[in-house]
Amino acid sequence: MPSFTLKIRRYLPESGDAPFWQEFDVDLEGHRSVLEGILTAKAREDGSIGIRCSCRAAICGSCGVLINGRTRLACNTHLAEAVRESPEDGKIIVEPMNNMPVLKDLIVDMDAVHWKKIQRVTPWLLPEGPPPEREYVVPHENMVDVTQSMACIQCGACVSACLSMEVDPLFIGPAALAKAYRFVGDPRDGAQYERVKDLAEDPAGIYDCTHCFACIDACPKGVAPMSQIMRLRRVASRDHDIEDRNNGYRHEHAFVENIERNGLLHEADLLPDSYGGKLHPRAVPELIDSLPVVAKGLARRKITPGKALLHPHRRHYKDVRKLFKKVQAKDEPLELNLYIVGYEEEEEAAR
């Protein structure tokens, strides 16, 4: 039977010692999971290893850990796969998740971070008016729309991977915002406007996501929290025209209009426009704040005044403008969610 080495980051709060590394060799088949590896080490070598688990089948969401630096479910990762991805010769590196305080060994404080943030988004239905006499009747398409966010098993892997949260612990974060979309997209909910208004105005809300895809990669259930956040932004800005104080709405509109005007991004306009236009009171302090940078750019001929002020006019961008008009004139723009419709055609070797 093959042997695998698990290098586990231990932390025993009662000992008063700093975290330390400990290695365990386990004899198991490669198709067994990292969780089974940890439990084998616990059973045979050291009963004090702390890990949460229950279902062992990627359902309960308790066994999130870092494996070789990436957040995964321990029960959903094969030993053989983990060892192939190891940056340290043949050792599988197991650590507690990021962005949450460690309680002991591989156990993090989900209450202090993950669950608190879930509560922040009012994770229950707020129906409007008196309940119907019998059940609510909901169009099928609407429920399909929220199924992706309903697939969440609350494992916190996305929270651990989130790069915005790493620098801004207040950020509401991927799991909670995906949960928010579950109700924002539910036709029975009567508080759609209030929900998205709240999340757009909160400096730690939907506009605090840095679009890094880390949550999409980390999620074992295909929830794609970042995509749900982008849908929340669409509901806030397109359906409710919420001009938030975080410049989210203005930035998005400035960007789209910029491309519509120029075909290519014209950055010199983007910054002031994102703050509401060059003469907008919000733009002035921002521009002054950025002045040293702009001045340096000018000095190094990085930003040439000609380029900054006059975008070279390109005739053929008329075609682009026409395209914008055509698509934006549609009442119901097309949206394809691959999670729901799946891949209709065989994926060809396009790569």
Q: Which residues bind ligand FES (CB under 6 A)?
A: 53-56, 58-63, 73, 75
Asked whether the beta carbons of 180 and 153 are under 8 A apart, the reply is no
Question: Which positions from 146 through 165 interact with another protein, judged by CB under 8 A?
Answer: 163-164
Nearest to 221 by CA among 172, 304, 158, 277: 158
Question: Which positions from 173 through 192 interact with ligand SF4, judged by CB under 6 A?
Answer: 174-175, 178
A 10 A CB-CB count for 183 gives 20
Q: Which is nearer to ligand FES, 59 or 268 (CB)?
A: 59
User: Which of another protein, ligand SF4, ligand FES, none is residue 175 near (CB under 5 to 8 Å by kind)?
Assistant: ligand SF4
Does residue 99 sit in helix, strand or coil? coil
CA distance 190 to 188: 6
Asked whether the beta carbons of 259 and 320 are under 8 A apart, the reply is yes
Question: Which positions from 281 through 340 interact with another protein, judged by CB under 8 A?
Answer: 286, 289-290, 292-293, 296-297, 300-303, 307, 314, 316-317, 319-320, 322-324, 326-328, 330, 333-336, 338
Cα 186 from chain centroid?
21
Q: How far is the CB of 67 from ligand FES (least distance, A)?
A: 12
Question: Which positions from 91 through 120 interact with another protein, judged by CB under 8 A?
Answer: none
CA distance 314 to 265: 13
User: Which of ligand SF4, ligand FES, another protein, none is residue 301 near (CB under 5 to 8 Å by kind)?
Assistant: another protein
Count of residues for the chain? 351
User: Which of ligand FES, ligand SF4, another protein, none is residue 325 near (CB under 5 to 8 Å by kind)?
Assistant: none
Handedness of CA 294, 300, 305, 306 (dihedral sign): negative
Cα–Cα separations (whole angstroms), residue 202 to 44, 205, 248: 49, 5, 11
Member of 163, 259, 287, 294 binding ligand SF4 (CB under 6 A): 163
User: Which of another protein, ligand SF4, ligand FES, none is residue 53 near (CB under 5 to 8 Å by kind)?
Assistant: ligand FES
Asked whether the beta carbons of 278 and 290 are under 8 A apart, the reply is no
Asked whether the beta carbons of 178 and 230 are under 8 A apart, the reply is no
Residue 153 engages ligand SF4 in binding (rule: CB under 6 A)? yes
Question: Which positions from 265 through 284 interact with another protein, judged by CB under 8 A?
Answer: 265-268, 271, 274-275
Residue 251 engages another protein in binding (rule: CB under 8 A)? yes
Does residue 315 sit in helix, strand or coil? coil
Q: Binding residues for ligand SF4, per CB under 6 A?
A: 152-158, 161-164, 174-175, 178, 209-215, 218-219, 221, 223, 225-226, 229
